[in-house]
Amino acid sequence: MGEYILAIDQGTTSSRAIVFDAKMQVAGVGQKEFLQIFPKSGWVEHDPEEIWESVLWSIREAIKKAGIKAGDIAAIGITNQRETTVVWERESGKPIHNAIVWQDRRTAKDCEKLKRAGHEKTFTAKTGLLLDPYFSGTKLSWLLSNIKGARKRAQKGELCFGTIDTFLIWRLTGGKSFVTDATNASRTLMFNIEKNRWDEKLLGILDIPQAMLPEVKDCAADFGTTEKDLFGAEIPILGVAGDQHAATIGQACFAPGMLKSTYGTGCFALLNTGADIVRSKNRLLTTIAYRLDGKTTYALEGSIFVAGAAVQWLRDGLKIIEKASQTGELADKADPSQEVYLVPAFVGLGAPWWDAEARGAIFGLTRGTGPAEFARAALEAVCFQTGDLLDAMHKDWKNNGDGETVLRVDGGMVASDWTMQRLSDIIDAPVDRPVILETTALGAAWLAGSRAGVWPDMEAFAKAWSRDKRFEPKMETSIRKTKVKGWRNAVRRTLVKV
């Protein structure tokens, strides 16, 4: 058996593959972006074939850069953008439509209809989720209703549904494995997180045939073996987790009360609640953090739809920066007397507001407002939204006692010292940035590596976590309170649902 682990990190804007060595260090990386498709306002799609090709290219590139052969790889771990929905033909493996991305809002009216029919309490009780277009269930129902003949074909067992992990595993194994893991299943609106199985009642409400759903496994399990002709050797797939769950694992947040937040296209904070299913009273999600050896660990989650995407908007939409790394430096030059707020509801607002119809807005503009103020507003929006999530978590989570909140962070945005310092200031708590920022890929790699027996167990892995830098709050209390008050006023003005 080889000693290397390959992590596939299939994200919203790009696919990455990372080869880790036996010491859990990065040996080679391949990454490829793919097209974002916007057919209508609020609609977001991906071409599954382009995702597949980007994953293959990234894997081959990572193996090449690591200077190894496929036979040197002990196992593959997969982490993926969650909720994004694919339907394909069981016989040919060909998708019947583009993937509907987690950001897509086309089913907002369908969700409202289900709420009016009194179904939201049932969905929340069984899945821990709210009725929102974010999740896979209504996306799948839309595909079955809007693609000619799709529902009849699904009822006959001719079609398969999967989140991106399932689609990739199907392709990697040549159609031999039709599987997912508990974390991805828990984000579909169809999975009972207490009983750990697909829920017949919810499937009935959504009119989705159970025949098209994959088998659900633990996060570390046998998910199949890659076809030899893809990479030159068969490689077992031994770990799978949705991206935010993999980041929770990669940050070694294994103890109840530990908290991480990932800053990528969106921002997602997860609080480990152990074996307890904590029912949120503050519009957070209850989800499966991970499932290992048949034992389920739960979490509270807050989901922000736009984080790094706001920086992309500064670059690609307004063209006031050439690269994302310039944003912090530009924000530092902003006029401190101007209070400009960006509410980045480009695809609606997530937790704790959950307003699918809200759209982005900017408040506090003056004749003196320029690129620096826009940059600061975009970065501060991420910090304010994180603060909203943590406030809600503190209200829901009663077992943290008087202990200090420490937020472990990861994702592309955390490389910015300016942003992390402002985050610490706004949430009034320490922010820990780890040495290894690739925590999502690392979490997937650990699942596979520990299962293969070439990486350490949970306890030893947690001890290996190391901090690069801690950011402590420095902002005066009065300034912070004024800023937060201004932010919440801006959000209230943006909401469609009052």
DSSP string, 227-243: -HHHHSS--BEEEEEEH
The β-bridge relationship of strands 179-181 and 215-217 is parallel
Contact 52, 69 (CB under 8 A): no
Q: What is the pLDDT of residues 55-105, one digit of tens each?
A: 999 999 999 999 999 999 999 999 999 999 999 999 999 999 999 998 898
pLDDT tens column, 159-179 = 999 999 999 999 999 999 999
> Would you say residue 328 has pLDDT above 90?
no
Cβ-Cβ contacts under 8 Å for 345 (sequence gap 6 or more): 305, 306, 355, 358, 359, 360, 361, 494
Q: Is the pLDDT of residue 150 over 50?
A: yes
pLDDT in tens, 173-201: 999 999 999 999 999 999 999 999 999 99
Phi, psi of 410 (to 5 degrees): -155, 175
Cβ distance 30 to 59 under 8 Å?
A: yes
Q: Where does 4-243 sit in CATH, by number?
A: 3.30.420.40
Which two structure tokens, joined as six digits, stand for 349? 């607002």
Q: Which pLDDT score, from 0 to 100, does residue 95 have?
A: 96
Mean pLDDT of the 275-304 span: 91
Identify each DSSP E strand in 352-471 by its residue range.
361-363, 407-410, 431-434, 467-471
Provide the 3-class DSSP secondary structure of residue 29: strand
Token pair for 364: 């506090």
Which of 235-239, 250-254, 379-383, 438-442 shows the highest mean pLDDT?
235-239
Taking CA 265 as the corner, what is the angle to CA 263 and CA 270, rounded to the nearest 5 degrees? 45
| Stated length of the chain | 498
d(C-alpha 284, C-alpha 337), whole Å: 34
**Residue range 204-221: mean pLDDT, rounded:** 96
Q: What is the pLDDT of residue 353?
A: 82
Q: What is the rounded average pLDDT of the residues 335-348?
A: 88
Q: Which carries the bigger pLDDT value, residue 380 or residue 358?
A: 380
Q: Is residue 400 predicted with pLDDT exceeding 60?
A: no
For 418-440, what is each residue's pLDDT tens digit? 999 999 999 999 999 998 888 89
**pLDDT for the residue numbered 170:** 97
Is residue 265 within 8 Å of residue 221, measured between CB atoms? no
Determine which of 76-90, 237-251, 347-361, 482-496 has the lowest per-residue pLDDT on average.
347-361
pLDDT tops 70 at residue 147: yes
Cβ atoms of residues 191 and 184 within 8 Å: no
Average pLDDT in the 358-378 region? 90
Helix extents (H) in 45-149: 48-66, 108-116, 120-127, 136-146
CA dist 332 → 364, 375, 379, 473 (Å): 18, 9, 11, 17
Q: What pLDDT does 453 receive?
A: 92
467 DSSP β-pair partners:
434
Locus of tokens 């850069």:
65
CA atoms within 13 A on the CB side of 393: 30
Q: What is the mean pLDDT of the chain?
A: 91
What is the C-alpha to C-alpha distance for residues 338 and 107, in angstroms, rounded to an integer?
38
Cβ atoms of 108 and 40 within 8 Å: the answer is no
Q: CATH 3.30.420.40 in the chain, residues?
A: 4-243, 252-434+466-498
Residues 7, 444: contact at Cβ < 8 Å? yes
From its phi and psi, is residue 179 left (phi > 0), alpha (psi between -120 and 50) or beta?
Answer: beta
Contact 423, 383 (CB under 8 A): yes
pLDDT at 125 over 70: yes
pLDDT band (50, 70, 90) for residue 399:
low
Burial class (CB in 10 A: 0-12, 13-18, 19+), 119: middle
Model pLDDT, residue 331: 85
What pLDDT, on the 0 to 100 scale, is given for residue 401?
47
To the nearest 10 degrees (0 to 180), the angle between helices 417-427 and 371-396 is: 40
For the chain, the C-alpha Rg in angstroms (whole number) is 22
Residues 252-434+466-498: name the CATH superfamily: ATPase, nucleotide binding domain (3.30.420.40)
Q: H/E element holding 20?
A: strand 14-20
pLDDT, tens digit, for every residue of 370-381? 989 998 998 999
- What pLDDT shows up at residue 404? 61
Q: Tell me the C-alpha distance between 391 and 352, whole Å.
A: 10
pLDDT of residue 348: 80
461, pLDDT greater than 90: yes
